[in-house]
Amino acid sequence: MAYAAEVTLIAVAIPVPAAAAISRAIESARAAKAQGADLVEWRVDSLAEDPDGPTAIATLVRDSPMPCIVTVRDEREGGAFSGSDEERIAMWIAASEVIPAPAYIDVELSTYHTRSSIREAINRIAHAKSTQGKSAHAVDQPRIILSFHDYSGRAPGLSARVAEMWADPGSAISKVVWTARTVRDNLEAFELLRMRAKPTIALCMGEHGLMSRVLAPKFGGFLTYARIDEHGTAPGQPTTHELIADWNFRAITPRTKVYGVVGFPIAHSRSPAIHNAWFRAANVDARMFAMAVAPVWESFKATMAEMFESPVLDFFGAAVTVGHKQHAIRFVEEAGGVVDPRAKRIGAANTIGRGADGLLFAINTDVDAVIDALAGAAMRGKRALVLGAGGAARAAAFGIASAGASVVIANRTMNRAEQVAEQLARAAGDSPALDVRAMELSALGSQRFDIVVNCTSVGMEGGGASSENPLPRGVRLDDSSVVLDAVYAPAVTPLLAHAAACGSRCVGGFEMFLAQARRQFEAWTGSPPPTGGPPCY
Ligand code: NAP
């Protein structure tokens, strides 16, 4: 039977490797409390091997500005402790003699099950009768968190281990944490929370696991961990400030809708920051997450199918970026949804949503965004160069050619450029034939263009060619050229720096980015994003 939902706590995890680190650790905990944390987890793995460990832990617990968890994590489960059972027990006894005692003691399931001395000691501490029950202070004994961690991925038999923890009568909380292999692992964490038989922590570590940490309240997770500095105690922990201020953690409800931005790489994406700020300003109960999905059809299909089909996630849409814009069309078509004719013609969609009729839809908001970003640039009769042959290039070439310019597409892989040019040049449906042709990069020679749009990921932060300029060396720009770089991180790319030096008008990718994001927001929510006051991204 599922356990009733409670408020999900934020526990800031602070490592205290030595007694000398105590005062700094207390300061950090105070700062986290001021930011909104409810609990502090003292990670005293190394301290427990210090002969002065018991004295030090007593100080730490006594001076703790918040209720605390005491954890001596074994090195077999990602911690630093390799000492004896006696050392660990001495720490727990010293901590539990402080008034008030720690709220929780965390011990690994494997240790608890295989070491009878540990099991007996921790149960004695947790279930001891208070000797001071009639004093002015109510003396609560620490409650046991039984935990299981896998840093290498998802361990086989995970569900059985969780069931074992739920069944243990001595423990109060069950905790399972593993490194997510893909974003889909979060769904299993949510399922464990939904099925919980007692208060449960189910979290995924690493770049794919943020969703499980932020959405723990949606599924009634007992707590989520936060870090205080850049390190944290496990990969992927957000800071308390990020949880409270950026993710609006306290306002997450069981009805919170979920959106994703899907691409590869995706860590650089500003979409979550922008859409989350707009959701908040418009009072839309929704959060967007970055989802790194390998740039192959099978991965995209599997991820989108699991997200949209989940009966509990409330997944309502995806912004689709690098590597997946063609997949977006195929996915929606195969799901029996509606692909906008313009996206179909271009062969790329950057937005998937669910309509009021429940059907999925795919649209392309990049086309209008390119035209918006090039605002004021004359197009009719002008010559434009589009670099790249992916989703963004298709949208840019279509938009610029539809506005009357003659477009050359040049790309590292020539046959992709030819395919795009061939597809766009052909009249289709209500769309007339367009003046689009492909050229080898090396054949561009010293030509001059009125408009240049970079739609490759060259120059992109975090990409493989972040310091390179995608424009072949001989191509001429001058003070009447307009150059748009779709890459928006960094703000000044190597291409824009070169264009500025040539006196050309430079348009950063962020203009285009905001324009396409506004249209996505409207497609998902039915209203444009709020205006007035900049969103906090
Ligand atoms: P995509 O479909 O994956 O296409 C990537 C393009 O970049 C392909 O033409 C690829 O060439 C080329 N490329 C990648 N690495 C290269 C390298 N090292 N040297 C030369 N060419 C390389 O991606 P996309 O969705 O079109 O996005 C492309 C870029 O535009 C990304 O940086 C994305 O962030 C940006 N973008 C920005 C906005 C915005 O609103 N500002 C909107 C959409 C996209 P091959 O065909 O040879 O692989």
Please check whether residue 359 lies inside any domain of the structure: yes
Spell out which residues line ligand 1, taking CB within 6 angstroms: 321-323, 325, 366, 369, 388-393, 411-413, 416, 455-458, 460, 464-465, 486-488, 509, 512-513, 516
The H or E element containing residue 494 is: helix 494-501
The pick from 415, 457, 506, 514 for probing ligand 1's pocket by mutation, whose C-beta has the most ligand atoms within 8 angstroms, reads 457
Backbone angles phi, psi at 24, to 5 degrees: -65, -40
Q: Give the model's pLDDT for residue 537.
A: 40
CA atoms of 207 and 462, how far apart (whole Å): 14
Give catalytic status of residue 366 as yes or no. Answer: yes
Instruction: Please check whether residues 327 and 423 belong to one and the same domain.
Output: no
Instruction: Please check whether residues 227 and 261 belong to one and the same domain.
Output: no
CA of 456 to the centre of ligand 1 (A): 3
Q: Which burial class, exposed, middle or buried, applies to 172 when counting CB atoms under 10 A from its CB (0-12, 13-18, 19+)?
A: middle
Please check whether residue 534 lies inside any domain of the structure: no
* CATH number, domain with residue 305: 3.40.50.10860
Q: Give the model's pLDDT for residue 535.
A: 47
DSSP E strand boundaries for 360-405: 360-363, 383-387
Q: Give the model's pLDDT for residue 138.
A: 47
Give catalytic status of residue 137 as yes or no. Answer: no
CA atoms of 21 and 141, how far apart (whole Å): 26
Give catalytic status of residue 33 as yes or no. Answer: no
Give catalytic status of residue 175 as yes or no. Answer: yes
Please check whether residue 468 lies inside any domain of the structure: yes
Average predicted confidence (pLDDT) for the chain = 94
Instruction: Please check whether residues 23 and 155 belong to one and the same domain.
Output: yes
Please check whether residue 54 lies inside any domain of the structure: yes
> Which atom belonging to ligand 1 lies closest to the Cα atom of 323?
3
Please check whether residue 26 lies inside any domain of the structure: yes
Alpha helices in 228-316 (DSSP H): 240-241, 271-281, 297-309
Q: Which amino acid, residue 36?
A: G
| Protein residue with least CA distance to atom 7, ligand 1 | 456
Instruction: Please check whether residues 98 and 216 belong to one and the same domain.
Output: yes
Measured over the CA atoms of residue 346, residue 348, residue 349 and residue 350, the dihedral's sign is: negative
Instruction: Please check whether residues 354 and 379 belong to one and the same domain.
Output: no
Calculate helix-pair angle for 158-167, 185-194, nearest 10 degrees: 20
> Which atom belonging to ligand 1 lies closest to the Cα atom of 509?
41
Nearest 5°: CA angle at 461, between 456 and 463?
A: 55
CA of 318 to the centre of ligand 1 (A): 18
* CATH number, domain with residue 457: 3.40.50.720
Q: Give the model's pLDDT for residue 532.
A: 56
Q: Does pTM surpass 0.75?
A: yes
Query: Among 251, 282, 300, where does a domain finish?
Result: 251
Instruction: Please check whether residues 262 and 237 belong to one and the same domain.
Output: no
The DSSP output letter for 351 is: E
Q: Give the model's pLDDT for residue 5.
A: 52
Instruction: Please check whether residues 132 and 245 belong to one and the same domain.
Output: yes
Alpha helices in 168-296 (DSSP H): 185-194, 210-214, 240-241, 271-281
Instruction: Please check whether residues 284 and 207 belong to one and the same domain.
Output: no
CA of 261 to the centre of ligand 1 (A): 16
pLDDT tens digits, the chain, 537 residues: what are they? Answer: 445 557 999 999 999 999 999 999 999 999 999 999 999 999 999 999 999 999 999 999 999 999 999 999 999 999 999 999 999 999 999 999 999 999 999 999 999 999 999 999 999 999 886 554 444 444 589 999 999 999 999 989 999 999 999 999 999 999 999 999 999 999 999 999 999 999 999 999 999 999 999 999 999 999 999 998 877 788 999 999 999 999 999 999 999 999 999 999 898 889 999 999 999 999 999 999 999 999 999 999 999 999 999 999 999 999 999 889 999 999 999 999 999 999 999 999 999 999 999 999 999 999 999 999 998 788 999 999 999 999 999 999 999 999 999 999 999 999 999 999 999 999 777 778 899 999 999 999 999 999 999 999 999 988 789 999 999 999 999 999 999 999 998 999 999 999 999 999 999 999 999 999 999 999 999 999 998 544 444
Cβ atoms of 214 and 190 within 8 Å: the answer is no
| Protein residue with least CA distance to atom 46, ligand 1 | 413
Q: Give the model's pLDDT for residue 502.
A: 97
Could you tell me which of 418, 401, 486, 478 has the C-alpha nearest to residue 447?
Answer: 478
Q: Give the model's pLDDT for residue 376.
A: 78
Cβ atoms of 312 and 194 within 8 Å: the answer is yes
Could you tell me which of 198, 247, 230, 188 has the C-alpha nearest to residue 10?
Answer: 247
Instruction: Please check whether residues 226 and 83 belong to one and the same domain.
Output: yes
CA of 487 to the centre of ligand 1 (A): 8
* CATH number, domain with residue 183: 3.20.20.70
Q: Give the model's pLDDT for residue 139.
A: 55
Please check whether residue 530 lies inside any domain of the structure: no
Could you tell me which of 5, 11, 536 has the C-alpha nearest to residue 238?
Answer: 11
Instruction: Please check whether residues 387 and 418 belong to one and the same domain.
Output: yes
The pick from 364, 456, 471 for probing ligand 1's pocket by mutation, whose C-beta has the most ligand atoms within 8 angstroms, reads 456
What's the domain count of the chain? Answer: 3
CA of 489 to the centre of ligand 1 (A): 13
CA atoms of 324 and 500, how far apart (whole Å): 32
Separation in Å, CA 179 to CA 38, 151, 189, 223: 25, 5, 11, 17
Query: Among 218, 251, 284, where does a domain finish?
Result: 251
Instruction: Please check whether residues 270 and 176 belong to one and the same domain.
Output: no
CA of 101 to the centre of ligand 1 (A): 56
The pick from 299, 322, 394 for probing ligand 1's pocket by mutation, whose C-beta has the most ligand atoms within 8 angstroms, reads 322
Please check whether residue 68 lies inside any domain of the structure: yes
Domain of residue 480 covers 369-513
Please check whether residue 536 lies inside any domain of the structure: no
Instruction: Please check whether residues 380 and 355 belong to one and the same domain.
Output: no
